[in-house]
Amino acid sequence: MSKIDTQDWRAFQISDLFEIVKGKRLTKAAMTEGQIRFIGASAINNGITAFISNKEYLHPSNTITVSYNGSVGEAFYQDEVFWASDDVNVLYPKFEMNEYIAMFIITILKKSGKKYKFIDKWKKEDMEKDCLILPVEQTGRPNFSYMETYMKNRAVAVSSELTALQSTLKLDFFKRLDIKNWAEFRIEELFDVKRPTSRSQANYSEGTVPFVASGNYNNGVLKYLQPNKDESLEQGGCITVSPVDGSAFYQEKPFLGRGGAGSSIILLYNAALDLYSGYFIATVIRSVCSKYAYGDMANKETIGNEVIKLPINDRNEPDYKFMSDYMAHMLEKASRTFLGLRTFMG
């Protein structure tokens, strides 16, 4: 897409568009584990650095977080309630904002914050005085409708590019690996193979905890639900496998798993997994188990007996460090490509 013509855009003071609220310090010692996002001064993962249950100083969804310290100028749209650290400013819109408008403004916010990377902080009082150059209506107001339409069109274009990218990466994943010296392992030799607690989404209200089912997209997450009182969640740090088509995903944080039926997911636990080795092995499992279909579904026993090939170390054990390093490299490559697709100004 060609570069936007900004010739007729105008400057708007950030404080005229947003109320800026400084985040609140929460030390690691004071954190309690949970499902609420903790937003820190990070340039990755939407700014999320932990998941907590502390609720004293939460911010609402449909806001923007901006790091004023650390990764200065990094900005993210928050679509869930969260706690912002004291290194983060939270922007509350004074207009009717949605995700598309937010993403448009975030791109410009990041450009504005670049100058502060050299002086370490983008303080609240400086941010309030700074201006954003935005498209305008004939009335002189920011043209939010244009911003929304532009980003929706960009989303369609990026989606098409990502589909092509994912196909390329899927081929590239194994093409770049020399698997001649890999060893075979039965899944049940490496993992504690489990079924989730019997549950159906129909018995829950909407909430913030992922409900993981046998889907082959969105990391298996069907929707977000509110757990019942005193209900135990499936622990994160595992791989979920769909018996319907062999789709496999790494689940980083606690979730509600669909159980109690033939198509309920299968859980694979191994304490040696981290985020990236989990992604690696999930990709391998997916390639092996794609033979299953709705009329010929897998089950806990057949998945446990499946044989997968993995890289090994000099002790002939799975080389989790290699897998983690390799997948981290692959995802960094994908991220660079994705960021290139999303860049639309300068």
pLDDT of res. 2: 47
pLDDT of res. 9: 93
The letter for the amino acid at 112 is: S
Domain boundaries 10-149, corresponding CATH code: 3.90.220.20
Sequence-distant contacts of 48-56: CB under 8 A, at least 24 apart: 49/85, 51/253, 52/26, 52/83, 54/26, 54/30, 54/83, 56/24
The letter for the amino acid at 303 is: I
Counting Cα atoms < 13 Å in the Cβ hemisphere of 296 gives: 5
pLDDT of res. 344: 41
The interaxial angle of helices 320-342 and 144-175, nearest 10 deg, is 150
pLDDT of res. 177: 66
pLDDT of res. 202: 78
pLDDT of res. 160: 56
pLDDT of res. 320: 94
pLDDT of res. 243: 92
183-334 homologous superfamily? DNA methylase specificity domains (3.90.220.20)
Instruction: Enumerate the CATH 3.90.220.20 domain ranges in the chain, comma separated.
Output: 10-149, 183-334
pLDDT of res. 341: 43
Q: What's the pTM value of the predicted model, to 2 decimals? A: 0.52
CA distance 223 to 204: 11
Name the stretches of the chain with pLDDT < 70: 1-5, 117-120, 155-178, 262, 332-346
54 contacts 31 by C-beta, under 8 angstroms: yes
pLDDT of res. 346: 38
Residue spans of beta strands (DSSP E) within 114-262: 131-134, 183-186, 192-194, 205-212, 221-226, 238-241, 248-251, 256-257
For 128-185, write each residue's pLDDT tens digit: 999 999 999 999 999 999 999 888 877 666 555 545 545 554 555 555 566 777 999 9
pLDDT of res. 119: 64
